[in-house]
Amino acid sequence: MSTSWQKFGIKAEFVERVKVKMKNPATKERIKGLLEGVTKYDLQDRAKVRRWVKQFSKILNESLTDTQEDQMVNFVIAQKIDPSNMLHLLKLYTMFR
């Protein structure tokens, strides 16, 4: 079964590594801190999303190619995430459980 992130060319191995790293409470809090106050409009701004992808990859010690970066940015924008909408957050949570 293909999940939505796979449709963007994001590899399952990468997602699994990130999920493991995000279980570290310090790492999780750092990333949550960077996303504090983010709006649905921020998450549709390609430049802002790209900046976050770069920051998160450094925090997670994951080097990304330009293509991988583009895949991540395209994925986030396509999700049309509204951080103030609980259903959107639940959808994301279940996608990466």
- Residue at 6 is within a domain: no
Tens-digit pLDDT profile for residues 24-81: 999 989 988 988 899 999 999 999 999 999 999 999 999 999 999 999 999 999 989 8
Burial of 26 (0-12, 13-18, 19+ CB in 10 A): exposed
pLDDT band at 1 (very low <50, low <70, confident <90, very high): very low
- Residue at 89 is within a domain: yes
CB-CB contact of 68 with 56 (8 Å): no
CB-CB contact of 43 with 83 (8 Å): yes
- Displacement of CA 11 from its chain's centroid (Å): 13
For the whole prediction, is pTM greater than 0.75?
Answer: yes
pLDDT score recorded for residue 88: 79
Q: Which domain holds residue 18?
A: 12-95
pLDDT score recorded for residue 2: 45
- Residue at 68 is within a domain: yes
CB-CB contact of 76 with 70 (8 Å): no
Residue with tokens 């409470």, as numbered in its chain: 25
- Residue at 21 is within a domain: yes
Our count of domains for the chain comes to: 1
- Residue at 58 is within a domain: yes
Q: How far is CA 23 from CA 8, 16, 28, 64, in A?
A: 24, 11, 7, 20
